[in-house]
Chains A and B, each alone.
Chain A
Amino acid sequence: METVNITPAEKTAYVPSVRKKRKWTADHWLAAAFLAPSVVLIFLFVYGFIGWTGYVSLSNWNSLVPDWSFAGLKNYLYLFHDFRFQADLRNTLVFTVLFIAAVIVLGQLLAILLDQKLRGESLFRNIFFFPMALSFVVTGVVWQWLFNPSTGVNLFLKPLGLDGKWYTDTNILFGFHWGKIEFGIPVAIIAVVVAAVWQMTGFAVAMYLAGLRAIPDEVREAARMDGATEFQLYWKIILPLLRPITVSVIIIMAHISLKIFDLIYAMTGPGANFVTDVPGVYMFETTFRGNYYANGAAIAMVMLLSVAIFIVPYLISSRKGGS
Chain B
Amino acid sequence: MRKKASAWLALALGVGVALSGCSSNSSSSDDAKQGSQKAGEKLEIFSWWTGAGEEDGLKALIKLFQEKYPDIQVENAAVAGGAGTNAKAVLASRMQGNDPPSTFQVHGGAELNEGWVAAGKMEPLNDLYEKEGWMDKFPKALIDMVSKDGNIYSVPVNIHRGNVLWYNKKIFADNGLQPPKTFDEFFQVADKLKAKGITPLALGDKEPWAATHLFENVLLGTLGTENYKKLWTGELSFNDPQVKQAVETFKKMLGYINEDHSSRNWQDAAQLVAEGKAAMYVMGDWVKGYFVNDLKLKVNQDFGYVPVPNTEGKFMVITDTFGLPKGVKNPDDVKKFLAVLGSVEGQDAFNPLKGSIPARIDADPSKYDEYGKQTMQDFKTAELAPSLAHGSAAPEGFVTKVNQAVNIFVTQKDVKTFIDTLASAAAELKK
Q: Does A associate with B in a complex? A: yes
Interface residues of A (CB under 8 A from B): 26, 30, 33-34, 37-38, 41, 62-65, 83-84, 144, 148-150, 165, 167-168, 170, 268-274, 284-286, 288-292
A31 → B minimal CB distance (Å)? 10
* Residue pair B263, A290 in contact (C-beta under 8 Å): no
Cβ of B121 under 8 Å from chain A: yes
**Can you identify 12 A-B contacts, CB atoms within 8 angstroms?**
A30-B11, A34-B14, A64-B95, A64-B116, A65-B120, A148-B260, A149-B259, A274-B408, A288-B93, A289-B89, A290-B396, A292-B400
Inter-chain contact count A-B, CB under 8 Å? 95
Name the contact of B92 in the complex, choosing from A33, A269, A273, A288 (C-beta under 8 A): A288
Flag if A269 contacts B11 (CB, 8 Å): no
Which of B7, B88, B397, B412 is the one whose CB lies under 8 Å from A63?
B397
Contact A170 B404 (CB under 8 A): no
CB of B85 within 8 A of CB of A289, answer: yes
Does any Cβ of A come within 8 Å of B206's Cβ?
A: yes
B271 smallest CB distance to A (angstroms)? 10
Q: Mark B254-280, 1 if CB is under 8 A from A, else 0.
A: 000001111100000000000000000
- Known contacts A37-B19, A289-B396; is A64 also within 8 Å of B407 by CB? no
Check if A26 sits within 8 Å of B411, measured CB to CB. Answer: no
Task: Give B277-297 interface residues, CB cut-off 8 Å to A.
Answer: none
Who on chain B is nearest to A26 by CB?
B4
Contact at A33–B11, with CB atoms within 8 Å?
yes
B400 adjacent to A289 (CB under 8 Å): yes
Tell me the bound Cα distance from A6 to B14 in angstroms. 40
Q: Which residues of B contact A38 (CB under 8 A)?
A: 18
- Mark interface residues in B393-404 (1 if CB within 8 Å of A CB, else 0): 001110111001
Q: Flag if B397 contacts A62 (CB, 8 Å).
A: yes
How would residues 81 to 101 of chain B score, 1 for a CB under 8 Å from any chain A CB and 0 otherwise? 000010011001101100000
Q: Kindly list 5 other residue pairs between chains A and B, CB separation below 8 angstroms, not including A63-B397, A170-B262.
A: A65-B120, A83-B408, A84-B408, A272-B410, A289-B400
In this assembly, does B365 line the interface, its C-beta being within 8 Å of a C-beta of chain A?
A: no
B88 and A288 contacting across the interface, CB-CB below 8 Å: yes
Task: Contact check, A30 vs B7: say whether CB atoms are below 8 A apart.
Answer: yes
Residues of A within 8 A of B259 (CB): 149, 165, 168
A291 B396 Cβ-Cβ under 8 A? yes
Chain A residue contacts of B8, Cβ below 8 A: 30
Give the shortest distance, in Å, between B255 (CB) and chain A (any CB).
15
Q: Which of B92, B116, B260 contacts A168 (CB 8 A)?
A: B260
- Using A64-B121, A150-B260, A291-B396 as known contacts, say yes or no to A269 and B93 having CB atoms under 8 A apart: no
Contact call B401/A290, Cβ cutoff below 8 A: yes
Docked CA distance A20–B382 (Å): 86
Interchain CA distance A169-B396 in the complex, whole Å: 29
Report B-chain residues with C-beta under 8 Å of the C-beta of A33. 11
What distance in Å separates the Cβ of A54 from its nearest Cβ neighbour in chain B?
A: 18
The answer to whether B115 and A291 have CB atoms under 8 Å apart is yes
Question: Which one of A84, A149, A270 lies within 8 Å of B263 (CB-CB)?
Answer: A149
CB neighbors of A among B190-232 (8 A): 205-208
What 10 pairs between A and B have smallest CB-CB spacing?
A: A290-B400, A288-B89, A273-B411, A64-B119, A272-B262, A149-B260, A168-B263, A290-B397, A37-B18, A168-B262
Q: Are A41 and B262 in contact (CB under 8 A)?
A: no
Residues of A with C-beta under 8 A to B7: 26, 30
What per-residue 1/0 map shows which CB atoms of B1-44 lie under 8 Å from chain A? 00010011001001100110010000000000000000000000
